[in-house]
Structures are given as C-alpha cells and as structure tokens.
C-alpha cells in the first residue's frame, strides 16, 4: 500500500509554515509492526516523532517538530497519518470487495486467466506489472498463462517447483515479499541455466510480492506483482490483500474447470448415446456376418479356399497377406491407391493385413473385415501351433544327433538324411526384442530356407537363434550352398556363423560350438552376413569380450596415430604395411609413395608408438590392433 503524506492538507500547511519536516524510511519486511504506532524523542529545540505504519506501507515516517506547542502538533501529525492510512486501507478493501463480478463469477477459465491481472492492478494501483502462473502437471513447470507490464517473451519464462521466488512460494505455500533490487536478485538464487539467462536479460524490479493461488488445499499456481518505482515497496497488508484476491481467483478457476468438465462429460454422454444406437444397429448386422463366416471357416480346406468363398458370398474385392508368406488376391482385385487396411493381430502382434477398396457402405465393410480378421487370426494360431510342434520335433532330432542317438523313425519325416560331409550354421536376427519375437523367428527361418540352395537341410529355431544343419555327399556341394547364401543373407540383415565342413559323425557338437562362436563374433562387430569359424583369426580368442572393450584395446595401442587427425596417414601406412605382409614394395605401391618415404613413415610410427616394427612382439601387437580397429571401429 502507498500513502502520500505530502498531499495531506494539514501536514502540507505545517510543512509550508516551517512547523515540521518529515521523510519516509524503508522498513525490512521482517521488522514491520503489526499495528500503527509512534514514538517521541525530545531535544533542546525540536521534537522528533517517528510514526511506524510499516505493516501497511513497509515504511516509517520521521517528523521533526519545531513549534512551541509541540505536543498539540504531535497529536495532529499522528492523527493525520492514521487518517491517511485508514483512507487508503478503506479504499483498498472497497476495491477488493468490488472485484469485477464478471471475472470472479465467470465460468470461462480463459476469461478468468486473462482478466485477473487487471483486477490486481485495480486493487494494488502501486503495482506496475504482474504475472499469473499455473502449474502444468504434464510438463512439471509453472507456466505464465497471463502477464501485464512485462515483455512479450515472458511467456517463455517457465519455472520448476522450488525454482526462483514463484517456485518456492508454490511449494511452501508461504507468500514472499522482497523490497529492493538486491533482495530480489538474492531471492532468485535457485534457478536453471535457461531461467538465469532470461533473468539476466530482464529489467529488475524494485519490489516483488508473490502469493500462492490455492483452492480446497490444492495449489494451482502463483500470483506475482512487481513495482519498478525507485521507492516502490510492498507491505504485509498488500500481501493480505493479494492473498484474498488469489483465493477468489482460485475458487473461480476451479469452478470454471468443474463446469468445463461437466459440459464435456455431458457431450460425451450424448455422443455415447448416439453411438450406442448406431452400434446396436451394426450389432445386428455383425451377428449375421459372424454366422455366415463361422459356416465358411467351419468347412475343411485351405485358407485361400475359404477367402475365395468370402469374396464370392459378399461380392467384395480384397487382398490378404501374412507374415508367413501367404499372399491372396480376390479374382477382381487390382492394386489401387486409397485402399483401406485391416490388421490381423495375435497377442497384439500384427500377423497379416487385409486391403480393400471403400464402397458406399464403408461401416459394413469394416465390420466384415474386422470379423474376418478374427477368424483368420484363429487359423493363424492353429498354423503356428503346427509349426511349433514341427520345430520342437526337429530340435529334438538334432539333440539326438549331438548325443549320437540313432533316430531312424524321424528321418523321412523331415526329408533330411546324413551324408558324408556336414556343416552347421547358427543365425541371429538383427531385430530388438519385441512382442512378436516368435513371429520374427518363424519369418526369418522361412527367409533363410528360401536362401538355401541345398535341399538336404535340417532347420529349426531355439531360443533366439536359428540352427541349420547341412549334409552332402561332397564338400564342394556345401561350398556352393555357402556361396549362394552369402549375398542373400546380407539383404536379410541376419548374422550367420558357420562351422568348418567335417565328415566325423561325432563332430556335431564341436561344429555347433564353432558356428556359435562365429555368430557371436559378428554380433560383436555389429555386422550382418556369414562368417566362417576358420576366418575368425585372432578374434577366436575374444569370446566374452564386449565390442567397446576391443575398440578401447586397439585405440590404446594405436593412440598416438588415432588421437591426432594429422597422423591419419601414418595409421593408414601401418595398416597397409600389415596387410601386405611387411612387404615394403607392395605397401609403397598401394600407397603410391616411394620406398624411402615408406621407411621414413615407419620410423615416425615407431617414434610415436614407442614400439619397434623389427621386434616380433611389438609388431604382433601393432598388427593385431590394426586388424581389430579396422574391423570393429567401422
């Protein structure tokens, strides 16, 4: 609250007559008196009267009286201050009581938000600016929903709870008064870097008052007022007034939200009634559809034959495809843009898709293909069960092979027979874990089967891997099969490890371990394709090592060549020299440099790494590091 004593007629007259002099003194918030009081100090020729009205104004006024009738003057001075305080206090309370009813009683939350600051400025006219913040539970920030007397970009000045003055007031529920620029700066000690940057670019007020906005025990946000006047201050009385206004705003805002929710609920109920009537009508058609489709899918025959019956009975054209490779086109279907799609799901995983063109009765079509997808999903589950049983039998047969158990009863069933030469491959699918991981295995297994040239193969999946056992009368047949698979596996984005070709019946377990090591090596590299166990080289010793551990080892050995871009050519020189088997002539030719230049570079490499190329142990370490870094860093 602000009072101007110089405008009081009696005080102004006495000041003009030289009877008294007076000045205002700021009082710290924590030192304000709860009531209006005064003290008198006498000296030889003057009387010093200190009137404390700090609860209302955050100030004291010091009067110096030099009249012969000082006691009467003192009484008139104190009475004048009381009159001024009571006058402003009464006016403030009247304005608070007459806050715009259209705002407080409004059921429009946006109208309340954007009008509240005008009411604040009306009730506290000495406030120059204000901001109304609401807490957004989704983002966790106090967001300025309206502001007045501040720059337009103030809307971006968002605060977290406990951050700055508003964040602290929001968390504690205790109003805050800060008079003086330095006090305001000190109060903003807890701030994020973004808020600190905004604060540094902003104009600092001379007084700040912030109160919580709460209703029914729940804090909704904060209401802040600012005064930029050099002598501007806020008092506890101002805080009480603003708290009262904030309480009215909070109640009005909560009421508007409740009304808004009630209207939305009413609209939802009306829509639900309308939808229910439509769904009842659709339900009758859906029941009829279900009965017809049930009769079709109760008959024997393949899925393709049943889909033919559906197309003929309902006169619809569509296309169907599933993850196991079935691709059905009705007789009149032609691929066109703008077709609708119906997903077939099993355990929330998509296993197939219907594509159909919209006609005049789209709801009927959606009901038809929605019901049809449910029947197809049941068929898919039955087919998957058959595949799972077959996979379990193949896995059991392979386990017998590993144990050396003779299982003649299953040989013809799988179309697989043991010839003279054998090879085992283990495959991993480069896909993250997902609810349809089982489908991914079946799909990848089918893709691998199409990539295989050799017909005599036993293929099944186990856990998250696919096992392939090949057998042929000649080793060259296995080599041709491997060559034909190489390019196709790269396109499938699958990692495959292959054992050596062997002719020992008791070698199956060792061969599987070889293939497992090779596919684990590819996984460490993060590469797809096929890797033969015999091509692993030094990497056969790295089982159990993480890819980053290997790269860190190589970087440590080659650090002087890798940490500085100007030494890239030295790393390339060393790598080429190693690849060319320490042949200076071939290495220089590959690098297109003179032999003497090569030797100079090798000498520089020895100096930087501290290792001698002529030393067998040092060269072995350098060559291994080159090979590993080249393989894993890319």
CB 426 within 8 A of CB 519: yes
Task: State yes or no: pLDDT of 563 exceeds 60.
Answer: yes
What is the per-residue pLDDT across 89-137, written as a single tens digit (0 to 9) for each? 787 777 777 665 656 667 777 777 878 888 888 888 888 899 999 999 8
Asked if residue 498 lies in contact with residue 532, where contact means CB atoms within 8 angstroms, the answer is yes
Q: Which tokens belong to 202?
A: 């902003």
Cα–Cα distance measured from residue 127 to residue 149, given in angstroms and rounded to the nearest whole number: 10
pLDDT at 132: 92
Percent of the chain with pLDDT over 70: 94
List Cβ neighbours of 473 (8 Å cut-off, separation of 6 or more): 419, 420, 421
| The predicted structure's pLDDT at residue 304 | 86
pLDDT of residue 531: 92
Higher pLDDT pick, 119 / 307:
307
pLDDT in tens, 317-372: 898 988 766 788 888 888 767 788 899 887 777 888 998 887 778 888 888 898 89
**pLDDT, mean of residues 374-395:** 82
Please report how the helices 508-525 and 547-562 are oriented relative to each other, as an axis angle in degrees rounded to 10: 50
318-322 and 218-227 strand pairing: unpaired
- Give the residue with greater pLDDT, 84 vs 173: 173
The CA-atom distances, in angstroms, between 609 and each of 101, 553, 574, 581, 587 are: 83, 14, 11, 20, 20
Q: Are 129 and 147 in contact (CB under 8 A)?
A: yes
- DSSP conformation class of 353: E
Nearest to 253 by CA among 97, 114, 144: 114
Higher per-residue pLDDT: 495 or 358: 495
- Rounded mean pLDDT of 594-610? 91
Burial class (CB in 10 A: 0-12, 13-18, 19+), 157: buried
Helix (H) / strand (E) containing 175: none
DSSP codes of every residue in 80-93: HHHHHHHHHHHHHH
Q: What Rg value do the Cα atoms of the chain yield, rounded?
A: 43
Residue 425's DSSP bridge partners are 468, 498
d(CA 468, CA 455): 12
Pair 335, 319: CB distance under 8 Å: yes
- For residue 634, what pLDDT is reported? 65
Average confidence (pLDDT) over 286-310: 85
**Selection from 1, 124, 130, 132 nearest residue 54 by Cα:** 1
Q: What is the DSSP letter of 301?
A: S
Question: pLDDT tens-digit profile of 497-515?
Answer: 999 999 987 899 999 999 9
Write the pLDDT tens digit of every residue in 611-627.
898 898 888 899 888 98
| Mean pLDDT for the chain overall | 84
Average pLDDT over residues 389-412: 76
Q: Is residue 427 classed as helix, strand or coil in its secondary structure?
A: strand
Label residues 326-362 b or e (16+ Cβ within 10 Å = b): bebbbeebeeeeeeeebebebeebebbebbbbeeeee
How far apart CA 37 and CA 29 sit, in angstroms, is 16
Read off the pLDDT of each residue in 598-609 and give the average, rounded to a whole number.
Answer: 91
Instruction: Judge whether residue 70 has pLDDT over 80.
Output: no
Confidence of residue 432 (pLDDT cuts 50, 70, 90): very low
Scored b (16 or more CB within 10 A) or e, 502-528 reads beeeeebebbbebbbbbbbbbebbeeb
Residue 385 clears pLDDT 80, i.e. is over it: no
What pLDDT is stored for residue 389 in this prediction? 79
pLDDT at 26: 80
pTM: 0.44
Q: Both tokens of residue 181?
A: 């620029």
Comparing 58-62, 127-131, 392-396, 448-452, which segment has the lowest mean pLDDT? 58-62
């Amino acid at each position: 609250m602000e009072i101007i004593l110089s405008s009081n007629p009696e005080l102004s007259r006495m000041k003009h007559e030289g009877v008294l002099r007076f000045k205002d003194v700021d009082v710290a918030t924590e030192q304000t008196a709860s009531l209006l009081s005064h003290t008198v100090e006498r000296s030889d020729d003057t009387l010093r009267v200190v009137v404390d009205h700090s609860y209302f104004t955050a100030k004291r006024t010091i009067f110096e009286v030099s009249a012969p009738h000082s006691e009467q003057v003192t009484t008139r001075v104190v009475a004048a201050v009381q009159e001024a305080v009571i006058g402003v206090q009464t006016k403030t309370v009247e304005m608070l009581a007459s806050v715009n009813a259209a705002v407080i009683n409004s059921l429009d939350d946006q109208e309340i938000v954007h009008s509240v600051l005008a009411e604040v400025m009306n009730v506290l006219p000495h406030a120059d600016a204000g901001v109304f913040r609401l807490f957004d539970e989704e983002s966790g920030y106090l967001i300025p929903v309206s502001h007045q007397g501040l720059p337009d970009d103030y809307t971006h000045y968002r605060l977290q709870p406990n951050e700055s003055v508003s964040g602290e007031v929001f968390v504690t529920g205790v109003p805050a008064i800060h008079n003086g620029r330095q006090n305001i700066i000190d109060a903003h000690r807890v701030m994020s870097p973004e808020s600190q940057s905004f604060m540094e670019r902003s104009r600092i007020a001379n007084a700040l008052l912030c109160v919580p906005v709460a209703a029914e025990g729940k804090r909704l946000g904060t209401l802040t007022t600012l005064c930029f006047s050099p002598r501007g201050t806020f008092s506890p009385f101002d805080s009480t007034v603003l708290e009262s206004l904030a309480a009215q705003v909070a109640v009005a805002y909560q009421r508007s939200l409740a009304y808004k929710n009630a209207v939305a609920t009413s609209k939802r109920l009306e829509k639900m009634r309308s939808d229910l009537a439509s769904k009842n009508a659709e339900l009758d058609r859906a029941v009829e559809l279900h009965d017809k489709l049930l009769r079709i899918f109760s008959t024997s025959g393949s899925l393709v034959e049943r889909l033919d019956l559906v197309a003929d009975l309902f006169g619809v054209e569509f296309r169907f495809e599933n993850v196991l490779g079935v691709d059905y086109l009705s007789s009149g279907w032609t691929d066109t843009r703008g077709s609708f799609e119906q997903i077939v799901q099993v355990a929330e995983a998509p296993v197939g898709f219907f594509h159909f063109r919209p006609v005049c009765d789209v709801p009927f079509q959606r009901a038809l293909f929605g019901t049809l997808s449910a029947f197809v999903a049941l068929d898919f589950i039955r087919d998957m069960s058959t595949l799972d049983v077959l996979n379990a039998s193949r896995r059991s047969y392979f386990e017998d092979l590993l144990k050396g158990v003779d299982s003649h009863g299953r040989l013809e069933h799988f179309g697989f027979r043991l010839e003279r030469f054998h090879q085992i491959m283990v495959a991993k699918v480069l896909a993250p874990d997902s609810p349809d991981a089982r489908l991914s295995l079946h799909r990848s297994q089918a893709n691998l089967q199409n990539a295989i040239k050799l017909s005599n193969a036993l293929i099944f999946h186990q856990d998250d891997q696919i096992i392939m056992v090949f057998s042929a009368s000649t080793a060259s047949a296995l080599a041709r099969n491997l060559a034909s698979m190489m390019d196709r596996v790269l396109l499938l984005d699958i990692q495959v490890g292959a054992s050596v070709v062997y002719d020992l019946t008791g070698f199956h377990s060792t061969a599987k371990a070889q293939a497992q090591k090779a596919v684990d090596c590819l996984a460490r590299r993060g590469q797809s394709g096929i890797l033969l166990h015999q091509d692993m080289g030094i990497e056969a010793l790295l089982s159990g090592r993480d890819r980053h551990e290997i790269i860190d080892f190589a970087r440590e050995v080659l650090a002087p060549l890798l940490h500085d871009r100007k030494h890239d050519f030295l790393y390339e020189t060393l790598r080429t020299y190693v690849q060319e088997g320490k042949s200076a002539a071939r290495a220089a030719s590959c690098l297109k440099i003179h032999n003497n230049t090569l030797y100079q570079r090798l000498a520089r490499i020895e100096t930087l790494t501290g290792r001698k190329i002529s030393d067998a142990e040092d060269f072995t370490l350098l060559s291994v590091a080159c090979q590993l870094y080249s393989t894993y860093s890319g």
